[in-house]
Each structure stands twice: as C-alpha cells, then as structure tokens.
Amino acid sequence: MLELAKLVQQSISLDEQITRDRDIELPRKVQIENAYVALDVELAETANTSEWFKVWKTHRGKADEGQTPRQTLLTEYTDAMDFFFLVAAKKTWTHLIMITEEDLTGLEKSRPAKDLDQQYLILKRMLFNSHFDHRQEDFRHAWRLFLKWGFVDFGFSQDEIQTAYEEKRKVNLDRQANDY
C-alpha cells in the first residue's frame, strides 16, 4: 500500500538534511522555482526512459545497467514523485498529496490513456498553472494524473512504488553521506 504521509515526510526530511548539510540558503520563492524545475526535469526523464513518444522505435524503454526497462522507469517515476512531494511541501500544499486509500484504488481502476503525449502535456500545463497562477486545484489534478500514469499507463502497483521510493531514498541518503 502506498503510504503517502510517510513518503512526504521522508522527502521533507531529506530536503532539510541536504539544506542543512550543504548550508544552502535560498529565498522561499527560489526554493519553490527550483523544486518545480526539478519536477519538470524528472517528468521529462520519465518520459524519455519509457520512450512512448518515440513512435519510430520498435523496442521502447531504456534500461540502466543491470536493470530492466521497467525497473529503470520505476526509478525515474519515483524520482519525479519525490519532487511532487517537495513542491507540495514548499508551497504548503501537502494536503493535496494526501488522498484516501479508496481514491488510490479508484485511480488504479482508471482507463489507460489513449494518448500519452496529450496526457503528458496536460500534466505539465497543470503544473505550470499551479506555479504561475497559484492554482492548487491544478496541482491536485496533476498529482492524481501522475498517480494514474504510474498505476495504469506504466502498470506499477502501490507496493512497487512504495518499495522503489524507499530504495531510492536509501541511495539518496548514501549519496549525501558520500559527498554527492
């Protein structure tokens, strides 16, 4: 089961640790913009890893060394998820991340996207609206679309996402301990 409160807390904790350890002092506005840029890049990396838009390729999906394309995509997906959490924390919108188990199950039962390109562009547009127009509802909708993307369009279970997120967290903590 996806434990969103726990994952958000872990994301905030890691961000606070990095900020403290690296002595990073940025105005709140810059922190928010930086988190949005990081989220935007991670969403692009997720798309690039899955390669759904590369209609000219027969075999789609990139794989990191020692991993399947699916495992690599799951890692990229959880990286993007982490920056959703960070944006929510910086904007004090974590309440928009917290959705019920029933809602998560409902998202899992959604229909696959007919057009992933359009879904991706809509997701990015909503994120930009949430930033530039301070639209919480667009952020909430983008978050739900992102979850549906993972569950339905990429076929990840809640447990897979939870486990992959926590494994990536360990990698990130190790990186910080080793002067990444």
In CATH, what number is assigned to the domain containing residue 138? 1.10.4010.10
The full DSSP string for 65-78 is: TTS-HHHHHHHHHH
pTM, 2 dp? 0.94
Please check the confidence at residue 42 and state whether its pLDDT lies above 90: yes
C-alpha torsion sign, points 12, 31, 80, 91: positive
- Domain holding 11, by residue range, is 4-177
DSSP state of 149: I
Amino acid at residue number 18: I
Please check the confidence at residue 66 and state whether its pLDDT lies above 80: yes
**Number of structural domains the chain divides into:** 1
DSSP state of 109: T
User: 169 CB contacts (<8 Å, ≥6 apart)?
Assistant: 10, 14
The pLDDT value recorded for residue 174 is 81
pLDDT band of residue 170 (cuts 50, 70, 90) is confident
